[in-house]
């Protein structure tokens, strides 16, 4: 029976020019090649100069030996000097060769190689895809736990001149959040960087660029480490340690000069990289169709967010000797939970990010081409993919069908992830199910969720301190319009305008390296950014004045409703609002002081001088900030009602800290345990104050919602 049980159909028709290199692609290739030519010219001159210097030393040493023959007792001295000179030349030659030819191994955590006998359907799928794309089969196939896919290879200097077979890496977090047609598109995109004969030149430039980067910044040979250790050990200046110091400085000089040239090439290459991404998209669309490409691009950010949240939870669970039974079941469950919250349609187990949903989001009015970005924006990619309009029958099967014993593999990778993240830690005593994980998240959201009637109006921003309001007045309008979508959209636009204003200022000040940009879909030169920023600032001021007045009107209207019920209700209303303001103010004070404490602790741990008098001086600075922190903690215990479910030991730990006089010194060294307690308690205080403030907001809003419900 054929191994290829699942392979989505190819498009019936594709545009003839779809996979042909664009003019922009060709232009960028020419620019980068010109830059590389200059780089290699300078590179060659530096290498020849160093080689000549090494040869001169060796020749000079040998010549000195021949010249000084027959000097009797003085011969030994000159022979010794000659040997040192020859050694120096030999070292230069040795490290020059090491600098050029030391291979760089592209290593990554959690990467596991898989073989065809383990997953024959996956390899049959890849083999068929490479055949359709007219490219070669990857040398090796790897999996990792994350939401990604990549093609990589182990490069050296020689790989700039001889082709190297690529390896394919597949993230299981990606497999878990795409349909089979989308999976085909993603893998085709990665293979597409190297598949087309017409773009071989661009692929070659890519390989050279990557090799140069690794040679300059990621390679650290054993010989170089030995040289650095020799230089570090030699603290006094004499004939022995001048050699490693000067040799090291020479190698660093070569690296610095080449690095400066590389930065210029890198900027040119980023333009080529963006064109290569567009081309890889075109190649993948030719075999997978336009819609699967759009679906996968739109869902990727959500998939990444869910996996990152699960990964963070894994660290928190490890502190309780707990671990996910299956991190991918948890990722899927979280994906569904968020989709339901945002009312996204689920299609064959995965959310669909529709045009209607995207239309409800507030986007930036400022668009520019980032000269240093390696990838085009999702919007740019999607526009080109949709313009290609390649129709195809979509296969919504899960890509897990390509893996043997998918559930067992998922659980195995989860346990491996736990073991690698926490080396030396024994296997988790408890396994957490996806349903239990979502139940905890749901309880957490319920705890902080504001009543839906407010439609996100108060979300992620502080309450305003409204002064001078002694009695309520009627709202000018109908109650149902208090928090309608027009109001909430206007607020979102206000905050986005603040971000856009900062972007315009950054463009005007050349902090963002771009000559052109778009504002409200109109193209502008950089010189116009300042004028637009001033205009937008006036708009922001008007919006801010509107929001301030609107919040005042809301407060007065809600107060009026409370007064209509009773004087006691109005007093309760005022008290709840003022309690929010109090907690906000106290939270800011705690955040400010926590920053000071943490800063001094960081200075303590970053000190190079660890002598006792230096430690004592810095510990005095820590102690000074602790004295300011303690009254804030005392006040926090008095006014902040911290539920046990938030932090069940915080009150007890804080009281113990307040009653203890830490010296932060033990046997003339830092008392690690006391410093760690201070550091952690400071973080917990800020986190708990923030959470309690949100609960006080919820108290006020639930009370206000009850007033609105009776109206």
Compute the distance between CA of residue 479 and CA of residue 657 in angstroms, rounded to an integer: 50
Compute the distance between CA of residue 28 and CA of residue 34 in angstroms, rounded to an integer: 10
Per-residue model confidence (pLDDT) at position 364: 92
Phi–psi pair at 692, nearest 5 degrees: -65, -35
Evaluate if residue 563 carries a pLDDT over 50. Answer: yes
Beta bridge partners of 168: 141, 151
pLDDT digits 0-9 by tens, 181-197: 999 999 999 998 776 55
Per-residue model confidence (pLDDT) at position 471: 83
The answer for residues whose C-beta is within 8 angstroms of residue 407's C-beta and 6 or more apart is 326
Where residue 497 falls among pLDDT bands split at 50, 70, 90?
Answer: very high
pLDDT digits 0-9 by tens, 418-430: 999 998 889 999 9
526 in Cβ contact with 508 (< 8 Å): yes
Evaluate if residue 1 carries a pLDDT over 50. Answer: no
pLDDT digits 0-9 by tens, 44-65: 887 787 777 777 777 776 776 6
Per-residue model confidence (pLDDT) at position 356: 86
Q: Residue-wise over 88-104: b if at least 16 C-beta within 10 A, else e?
A: bbebbbebbebbeebeb
DSSP 103: -
Per-residue model confidence (pLDDT) at position 236: 47
Phi–psi pair at 352, nearest 5 degrees: -105, 120
Q: Give the number of other CB atoms < 10 A from CB of residue 17.
A: 10
**Looking at 52-56, 213-217, 238-242, 263-267, which range is the least confident one?**
238-242
Compute the distance between CA of residue 189 and CA of residue 650 in angstroms, rounded to an integer: 50
0.95 cut: is pTM over it? no
Report the SS3 class of residue 114: strand
Per-residue model confidence (pLDDT) at position 243: 59
Going from the C-alpha of 674 to that of each of 108, 284, 466, 681, 689, the distances in angstroms are 36, 57, 42, 11, 22
265 in Cβ contact with 209 (< 8 Å): yes
Compute the distance between CA of residue 206 and CA of residue 213 in angstroms, rounded to an integer: 11
3-state helix, strand, coil in the chain (%, to 5): 65, 5, 25
The stretch 199-224 carries a mean pLDDT of 58
512 in Cβ contact with 599 (< 8 Å): no
569 in Cβ contact with 563 (< 8 Å): yes
Report the SS3 class of residue 686: helix
Evaluate if residue 290 carries a pLDDT over 60. Answer: yes
Per-residue model confidence (pLDDT) at position 468: 82
Radius of gyration of the chain (CA): 32
Per-residue model confidence (pLDDT) at position 347: 93
Q: What percent of the chain has pLDDT over 90?
A: 56
Q: Which of 639, 615, 629 is nearest to 680 (CA)?
A: 629
N-term to C-term CA, the chain: 70
Phi–psi pair at 103, nearest 5 degrees: -75, 155
What average pLDDT is seen over the chain? 85
Evaluate if residue 100 carries a pLDDT over 60. Answer: no
Per-residue model confidence (pLDDT) at position 478: 79
Locate all alpha helices (DSSP H) within 134-238, ordered by sequence. 172-175, 180-192, 200-213, 222-233
DSSP 104: B
Evaluate if residue 170 carries a pLDDT over 80. Answer: yes
Q: Which of 130, 185, 125 is nearest to 394 (CA)?
A: 185
**Looking at 128-142, 189-203, 292-306, 383-397, which range is the least confident one?**
189-203
Q: Which two tokens stand for residue 293?
A: 């490409």
Per-residue model confidence (pLDDT) at position 210: 65
Evaluate if residue 645 carries a pLDDT over 90. Answer: no
Compute the distance between CA of residue 336 and CA of residue 334 in angstroms, rounded to an integer: 5
Helices (H) and strands (E) in the chain, counts: 20, 13
Per-residue model confidence (pLDDT) at position 44: 80
Q: Residue-wise over 248-281: b if at least 16 C-beta within 10 A, else e?
A: bebbeebbeebeebbeebbebbbbbbbbbbbbbb
The stretch 544-551 carries a mean pLDDT of 94
Evaluate if residue 490 carries a pLDDT over 60. Answer: yes
588 in Cβ contact with 683 (< 8 Å): no
The stretch 276-285 carries a mean pLDDT of 91
The stretch 234-251 carries a mean pLDDT of 59
Report the SS3 class of residue 670: strand
Where residue 211 falls among pLDDT bands split at 50, 70, 90?
Answer: low
DSSP 474: -
Evaluate if residue 684 carries a pLDDT over 90. Answer: yes
Q: Give the number of other CB atoms < 10 A from CB of residue 486.
A: 8
Evaluate if residue 207 carries a pLDDT over 70. Answer: no
Q: Which two tokens stand for residue 451?
A: 């009543």
Q: Which two tokens stand for residue 386?
A: 């949709």
Task: Determine the distance from the C-alpha atom of residue 288 to the mean position of all C-alpha atoms in its chain, rounded to a whole number.
Answer: 28
Per-residue model confidence (pLDDT) at position 72: 57
Going from the C-alpha of 554 to that of each of 366, 469, 542, 646, the distances in angstroms are 32, 11, 18, 31
Per-residue model confidence (pLDDT) at position 375: 80
Per-residue model confidence (pLDDT) at position 110: 80
Compute the distance between CA of residue 81 and CA of residue 215 in angstroms, rounded to an integer: 34
Q: Which of 334, 337, 353 is nearest to 345 (CA)?
A: 353
Where residue 157 falls among pLDDT bands split at 50, 70, 90?
Answer: low
Where residue 237 falls among pLDDT bands split at 50, 70, 90?
Answer: very low
Evaluate if residue 84 carries a pLDDT over 80. Answer: no
**Looking at 263-277, 289-303, 515-529, which range is the least confident one?**
263-277
Report the SS3 class of residue 167: strand
Per-residue model confidence (pLDDT) at position 679: 94
pLDDT digits 0-9 by tens, 378-399: 889 999 999 999 999 999 999 9
**Looking at 371-385, 412-426, 581-595, which range is the least confident one?**
371-385
Where residue 513 falls among pLDDT bands split at 50, 70, 90?
Answer: confident
Where residue 107 falls among pLDDT bands split at 50, 70, 90?
Answer: low
- Pairing of β 522-525 and β 665-666: unpaired
Per-residue model confidence (pLDDT) at position 39: 75
Evaluate if residue 683 carries a pLDDT over 90. Answer: yes
Q: What angle do CA 32, 37, 43 make, to 5 degrees?
A: 120
The stretch 330-336 carries a mean pLDDT of 98
Evaluate if residue 234 carries a pLDDT over 60. Answer: no
pLDDT digits 0-9 by tens, 13-30: 988 888 888 888 788 878
Evaluate if residue 312 carries a pLDDT over 90. Answer: yes
The answer for residues whose C-beta is within 8 angstroms of residue 557's C-beta and 6 or more apart is 472, 473, 474, 475, 482
The stretch 251-279 carries a mean pLDDT of 78
Compute the distance between CA of residue 171 and CA of residue 177 in angstroms, rounded to an integer: 10
Q: What percent of the chain has pLDDT over 70?
A: 82
The CATH fold of domain 582-698 = 1.20.120
Going from the C-alpha of 423 to that of each of 318, 416, 417, 418, 444, the distances in angstroms are 11, 10, 10, 8, 30
Where residue 359 falls among pLDDT bands split at 50, 70, 90?
Answer: confident
Per-residue model confidence (pLDDT) at position 694: 96
324 in Cβ contact with 432 (< 8 Å): yes
Q: Which of 36, 21, 283, 331 is nearest to 176 (CA)?
A: 331
**Looking at 15-24, 234-243, 526-535, 645-654, which range is the least confident one?**
234-243
Question: Starting from the edge strand earliest in sequence, which strands make up the sheet with 522-525, in order?
Answer: 366-368, 516-519, 522-525
Per-residue model confidence (pLDDT) at position 257: 78
């Amino acid at each position: 029976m054929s191994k290829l049980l699942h392979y989505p159909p190819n498009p019936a028709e594709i545009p003839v020019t779809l996979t042909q290199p664009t003019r922009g692609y060709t232009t960028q290739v020419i620019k980068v090649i010109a830059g590389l030519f200059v780089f290699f010219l300078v590179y060659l001159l530096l290498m020849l100069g160093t080689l000549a210097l090494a040869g001169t030393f060796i020749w000079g040493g040998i010549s000195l030996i021949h010249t000084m023959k027959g000097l009797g007792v003085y011969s030994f001295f000159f022979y010794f000097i000659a040997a040192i000179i020859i050694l120096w030349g030999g070292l230069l030659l040795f490290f020059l060769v090491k600098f050029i030819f030391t291979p760089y191994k592209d290593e990554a955590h959690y990467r596991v190689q898989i073989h065809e006998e383990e997953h024959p359907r996956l390899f049959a799928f890849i083999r068929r895809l490479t055949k359709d794309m007219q490219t070669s089969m990857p040398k090796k196939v790897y999996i990792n736990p994350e939401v990604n896919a990549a093609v990589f290879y182990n490069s050296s200097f020689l790989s700039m001149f001889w082709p190297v077979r690529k390896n394919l890496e597949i993230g299981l977090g990606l497999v878990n959040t795409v349909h089979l047609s989308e999976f085909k598109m993603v893998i085709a995109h990665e293979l597409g960087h190297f598949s087309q004969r017409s773009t071989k030149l661009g692929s070659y430039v890519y390989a050279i660029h990557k090799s140069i980067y690794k040679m300059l910044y990621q390679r650290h040979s054993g010989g170089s480490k030995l040289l650095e250790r020799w230089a570090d050990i030699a603290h006094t200046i004499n004939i022995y340690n001048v050699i490693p110091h000067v040799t090291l400085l020479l190698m660093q000089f070569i690296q610095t000069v080449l690095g400066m040239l590389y930065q210029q090439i890198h900027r040119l290459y980023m333009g080529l990289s963006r064109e290569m991404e567009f081309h890889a998209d075109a190649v993948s669309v030719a075999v997978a169709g336009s819609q699967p490409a759009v679906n996968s691009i739109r869902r990727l950010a959500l998939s990444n967010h869910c996996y990152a949240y699960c990964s963070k939870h894994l660290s928190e669970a490890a502190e309780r000797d707990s671990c996910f039974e299956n991190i991918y079941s948890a990722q899927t469950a979280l994906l569904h939970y968020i989709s339901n919250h945002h009312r996204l349609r689920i299609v064959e187990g995965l959310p669909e990010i529709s045009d209607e949903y995207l239309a409800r989001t507030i986007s930036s009015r400022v668009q520019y081409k980032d000269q240093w970005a390696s990838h085009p924006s999702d919007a740019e990619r999607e526009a080109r993919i949709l313009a290609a309009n390649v129709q195809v029958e979509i296969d919504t099967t899960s890509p897990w069908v390509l893996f043997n014993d998918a559930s067992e593999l998922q659980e195995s990778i989860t346990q491996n992830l736990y073991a690698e993240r926490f080396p030396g830690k024994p296997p988790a005593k408890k396994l957490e199910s996806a349903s239990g994980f979502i139940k905890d998240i749901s309880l957490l959201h319920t705890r902080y969720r504001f009543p839906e009637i407010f439609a996100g109006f108060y979300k992620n921003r502080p309450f305003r301190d409204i002064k001078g309001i002694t009695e309520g007045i009627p709202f000018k309008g109908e109650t149902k319009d208090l928090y309608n979508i027009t109001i909430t959209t206007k607020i979102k636009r206000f905050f986005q305008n603040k971000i856009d204003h900062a972007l315009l200022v950054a463009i005007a000040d050349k902090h963002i390296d771009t000559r052109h940009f778009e504002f409200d879909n109109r193209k502008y030169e950089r010189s116009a950014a300042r004028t637009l920023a001033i205009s937008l600032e006036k708009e922001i001021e008007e919006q801010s004045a509107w929001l301030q007045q609107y919040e005042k009107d809301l407060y007065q209207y809600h107060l009026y409703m409370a007064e209509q019920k009773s004087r006691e209700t109005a007093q309760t209303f005022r008290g709840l609002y003022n309690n929010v303001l109090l907690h906000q103010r106290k939270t800011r004070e705690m955040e400010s002081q926590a920053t000071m404490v943490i800063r001094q602790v960081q200075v303590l741990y970053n000190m190079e001088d660890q002598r006792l008098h230096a430690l004592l001086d810095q510990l005095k600075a820590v102690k000074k900030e602790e004295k300011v922190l303690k009254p804030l903690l005392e006040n926090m215990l008095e006014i902040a009602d911290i539920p046990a479910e938030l932090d069940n030991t915080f009150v007890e730990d804080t009281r113990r800290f307040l009653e203890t006089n830490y010296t932060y010194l033990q046997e003339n060294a830092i008392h690690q345990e006391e410093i760690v307690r201070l550091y952690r308690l400071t973080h917990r205080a800020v986190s708990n104050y923030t959470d309690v403030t949100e609960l006080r907001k919820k108290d006020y809003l639930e009370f206000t919602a009850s007033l609105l419900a009776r109206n």
